[in-house]
Amino acid sequence: MVHPAVRRAGAADRLIQEVLAWAAANGGVVVRLDVLATNDRARRCYERNGFRLTGREAVRERDGLLDLTMDRPVP
């Protein structure tokens, strides 16, 4: 989660790029994540950074909310 004070300043995009760079430096091939189906802002951010829905969905046991899986190749 990005602190509200730095939202819309590119912090999330920079964080994602750092994770992708770390994955590449450590031999990663794909970065995969889960995002709440209702979290449109996060989903748009991930899509803007090259993540795509995989079609996998799972209901979280702890709260019954729906998670969507997204992934993208490591550059």
Residue 69 has pLDDT above 80, yes or no: yes
Mean pLDDT of 61-74: 97
Residue 3 has pLDDT above 90, yes or no: no
Residue 9 has pLDDT above 90, yes or no: no
Residue 2 has pLDDT above 70, yes or no: no
pLDDT value of residue 1:
66
DSSP letters spanning 24-64 = HHTT--EEEEEEETT-HHHHHHHHHTT-EEEEEEEE-TTT-
At 73, is the pLDDT very low, low, confident or very high (cuts 50, 70, 90)?
Answer: very high
What ranges do the domains of the chain cover?
Answer: 29-75
Stronger pLDDT, 37 or 10, i.e. the higher one: 37
Name residue 71's beta-bridge partners.
Answer: 32, 52
Tell the burial category of 31 from Cβ atoms under 10 Å away from its Cβ (0-12, 13-18, 19+).
buried
